[in-house]
Amino acid sequence: MQDNLTAARPSFVTHLECSMTGETYAADQLHGLSRVGRPLLVRYDLAGVGAALTREALAARPTDLWRWRELLPVRRAESIVSLGEIETPLIDIPKSGGPGAIVKDEGRLPTGSFKARGLVMAVSMARELGVTRIAMPTNGNAGAALAAYAARCGIETVILCPEETPEVNVREIAAQGARVYRVNGQIDECGAIVGRGAAEGRWFDFSTLKEPYRIEGKKTMGLELAAQCGWELPDAIFYPTGGGTGLIGMWKAFDELERLGWIGSKRPRMYAVQASGCAPIVRAFEAGEEHAERWENAATVAAGIRVPRAVGDFLILRAVRESGGRALAVGDPAILQAVDDCARKDGLLLCPEGGATLAAYRQAMRDGLVDPKERTVLFNCATGLKYPLPEAGTWLDKDAVGDLAAL
């Protein structure tokens, strides 16, 4: 990884662009949302990238997030705040998923979740652009990643968590030096407080998609997946969708790779997976809407996808529809059953959000949306060890052990 971090870093960023209107914004300046309140997307000189980098040269580099440096926004190597962002493995789950099911296990990343991808990029760019204080709402894993990377480079951080945030996440955030507060509300209500503070000039707002660079870190999931699959994308992707940054980022990655001539026009069908207790994207998809109304009284065991309103809703829905995919909702019982089955049958402990993708995949096969033999990638977004596990273990008295066959 060190080779990728210290290598010469020519920048191919040309400008930023409003995801709704196409209005352009200057690079190398601090931006939040566009003038119409929508996410900004980073644009590159892809002809320049293609002239500077080949697939063969890429293959010779260490396989980590930073091998993709020509397609990332950080201009100066010294701006990078790394904790060791590896390429995550693809693991088949034939017993709980079927012959075509493959899990991309993002729990191997720093801080144990795929949030490391987005936050390492966002924090590195904040450092490059001179940001000294950040605030962000989180359901847990994003806050933990932000706290870790911010601590590493000395950026002051304030994090607001909904009261239902898993205890381990709140303690993890605090342990890594951030000021963390529990809020009696949902993540969008935490975000409203963060936005008010940003408007008062107290901090920079790091909410999902309210700065341009988390997408660029998350898109490396799509870049990696293309390389791991031999530059032939899978038939379908099931992605746990709250704010949807990763789904949006992967769709952007596939477009950039095609423009480079590294892949063809084939795209996976993108399935945005939500919990039935918080499914605003599913409701909007089924109604044919471009935007998703807020989901009231959101509740699910999968805390990471408990997002009542997503600022990038139209980008999620656009990618799903353009791909021929769907937005799917699954209930908590199916999520927990999928987690249990994958652990017991295939030895892989999914987080609840990852369990949601397996549950949705099973439902999609039953409904005829996916052929079991199709190559399908399910995203497990965090290690299952960060979530409460059922009580287990039967006591054995060492002085009264009887027939061992009973064990």
pLDDT > 70? residue 2? no
Run of H or E residues at 330: strand 326-330
Q: CA 255, 260, 262: angle at the middle one, nearest 5?
A: 90
pLDDT > 70? residue 389? yes
Beta strand pairing call for 90-92 and 101-105? antiparallel
Predicted confidence at residue 9, as pLDDT, reads 67
Domain ranges of the chain: 2-79, 90-112+213-385, 115-205
- Average confidence score pLDDT of the chain: 96
Least confident of 262-266, 269-273, 356-360, 396-400: 396-400
- Cα separation, 325 vs 345, in Å, equals 28
Tens of pLDDT, residue by residue over 40-80, are 999 999 999 999 999 999 999 999 999 999 999 999 999 99
Concatenating the DSSP letter of every residue in 109-155 gives: SGGGBTHHHHHHHHHHHHHHTT--EEEEE-SSHHHHHHHHHHHHHT-
| 90-112+213-385 and 115-205 in the same fold | yes
Tens of pLDDT, residue by residue over 77-100, are 999 999 999 999 999 999 999 999
- DSSP symbol at 164: T
- Label residue 301 by pLDDT band (50, 70, 90): very high
Tens of pLDDT, residue by residue over 310-367, are 999 999 999 999 999 999 999 999 999 999 999 999 999 999 999 999 999 999 999 9
pLDDT > 90? residue 392? no
Contacts of residue 355, Cβ cutoff 8 Å, sequence gap at least 6: 302, 335, 336, 338, 339, 342
In CATH, 115-205 is 3.40.50.1100: yes
Residue, of 210 and 389, whose pLDDT is higher: 210
Residue 73 · residue 213 · CB < 8 Å: yes
Q: What is the sign, positive or negative, of the torsion defined by CA atoms of 61, 380, 140, 73?
A: positive
N- to C-terminal Cα separation, the chain: 46
- The CATH class given to the 90-112+213-385 domain equals alpha beta
Q: Rounded to two decimals, what is the model's pTM?
A: 0.95
